[in-house]
Structure 1
Amino acid sequence: MTPAPPPTPTDIHIDGRVIRLKWHRARRTATDAPFTPGRIVEGLACGASVEIDVRTGPGGVPLIRHDPLRWWRRVRPVNLMPLSVIGEELGSRGVVELPAEARLQLDIKDTARVLTTDVAQQISAAVNSFADAVIVSGNDPVAVARIAKQDPRTATGHDPCTRSAVRRLRRTGDVDGFVSAALEADRAAGIIYLDHRIILALAATGRDIVASFHAAGRQVDAFTLTGPDPETLGQARALIDLGADQITTDDPEGMYRALRSVPRT
């Protein structure tokens, strides 16, 4: 079956379901530079799901940045892009209202030790004009909650795939314990972000972790697939069949075209 064209360029519609292809690091295509303000705003304006990384910068200013603190000295100041540029870009383009399906995931890379209440307030202020479209996520639920409490419009998600949690899961095979811990970490989280390798590895053993989170009322995002080569396309189709609600990819446009062009078996 070939999916019908969706209203959003990178959402797949199959059998009455909508599977979102999230723009990893705000890239629409594999050749895009990451975290370009123009691409971030373009994605939001067309109703896409867009992910960016956020870190605390010098002076407590929240930055759109993936790299850890120790790398800052290797980068010229021009590359330290404040989170506030998104609102400024929206304003300069005259974008007053975003489509209801637009989502901007702020993947928080700092722990609560670094992300103080002052920084949380600055993050909330930077996205205030479009807070309805914002999801705050990360490995540290305390840091995420510190931001979310600043504005009741801000949704949250949780990524339980820390190195220690994944090692424990591999060692013990305790899927139920992994799921329970993830749900307990952020009870308000509407979406759980899972490494696609965990989902597929468990499925190969007969365990459906996506179904477990669905049973608890959570959506599931599977991260991160690269471009639409044969292996990755096979993984994407398997994730869709397993019920993933969203797939994070470095090439959402290419993945969208490839998934639509090849009928499912």
Structure 2
Amino acid sequence: MTAPIAITRNGHRTWLKWHCGKRFPADTPFSRARIIEGLKAGASSEIDLQLTADGAMAVLHDELLEQSTTGVGPVASASAGQVRAARLLDPEGRDTGEGVMLFDELARLVATSAAADSAILQLDLKEELAAFTPESIARFGEAVRPVASHMILSGGDAAAVKRLAETAPGLATGYDPCLDGAMERVMENGRYVDFVAEALQTAPDARMFYLHYELVLAAADAGFDMIAAFHDAGKTVDAWTIRVADAAGLAHAEKVLALKVDQITTDDADGLFAAFG
């Protein structure tokens, strides 16, 4: 079976990004086996990063360990050793027996995985720049430099992304302007042109901009093609997150595909690929 990594429609290729490293909705987030599969297939996968108390980065989406692991408490209050001792939970909350990865380990995994040239891991920072120390920044740089060609660093704090990217020349960057109520405000006031301009000004070096699909569709309904606006500035766009390829999910995917989105974040890459690939 062809790996579900991209859809081509009307001459435009849209990548399917495996949200939290998941190919299927029932997958365990950030399982090593699925991440390696995606790397070998040339897929785009999202990897979330949370800072530990001692400056390591844990491959986890949530701030609290109990939300997705057997551990308890904030990731930010736990040591790297405590985080690694926790085991991943599957979507049903069952102990998988698989330990949580730190970013250093993930980088080594990429280096030894025989990754396809097109394989990209989106490193999504969950912290603002103030949370990082010079030591934690240096540790990130040391880990990412050997595999930077397979990474794009993104987040909602453009300053944090820029500072960490400086540790690895050539590391691509992205920016998410939809966080902290920004998406809701622009959907209420309708100032979509200003929203795009501000995002481009905030992160001028970003290669990709990450936009909630509801924002993209709201702008389109108001007569403004937000994806085209970023394309005109030489940028690419990821629409997040279409979780399941059910009737609603497929309808949303159909609309963002028609707008020539460059990437769709999804928990159901196989379902979208079966419908549109």
SS in 2 for 1:31: coil
Query: Which residue identity is paired with 1:113?
Result: A
* Residues 180 and 117 of structure 1: CA distance in aligned 2, closer, same or farther (over 3 Å): farther
Unaligned regions of 5+ residues in structure 2, if any? 75-81, 87-99
Rounded Cα–Cα distance in structure 2 between residues aligned with 1:13 and 1:120: 38
* Residues 166 and 9 of structure 1: CA distance in aligned 2, closer, same or farther (over 3 Å): closer
**Aligned residue for 1:74?**
73
Aligned partner (choices 52, 64, 67) of residue 57 of structure 1: 52
Query: Which residue identity is paired with 1:66?
Result: H
- The within-5 A match list for 1:1-265 is 9-68=4-63, 73-74=72-73, 77=83, 78-79=85-86, 80-90=100-110, 94-96=112-114, 98-260=115-277
1:183-235 deviations in Å (ceiling 9; x for gaps): 01111101100000001111112111111111111101000001111111011
Rounded Cα–Cα distance in structure 2 between residues aligned with 1:255 and 1:246: 12
Rounded Cα–Cα distance in structure 1 between residues aligned with 2:30 and 2:210: 20
1:68-105 deviations in Å (ceiling 9; x for gaps): 268674387423421122233346xx534x32211110
Percent identity of paired positions between Structure 1 and Structure 2 = 35
Shift of 1:120: 2.2
Rounded Cα–Cα distance in structure 1 between residues aligned with 2:140 and 2:64: 17
Asked whether the 8 Å contact 2:187–2:215 carries over to 1, the reply is no
SS in 2 for 1:68: coil
1:102-143 deviations in Å (ceiling 9; x for gaps): 111000000011023322222222233321111000000111
SS in 1 for 2:260: coil
Asked whether the 8 Å contact 1:48–1:103 carries over to 2, the reply is yes
- Calculate the TM-score normalised by the size of structure 2: 0.85
Unaligned regions of 5+ residues in structure 1, if any? 261-265
Asked whether the 8 Å contact 2:22–2:267 carries over to 1, the reply is yes
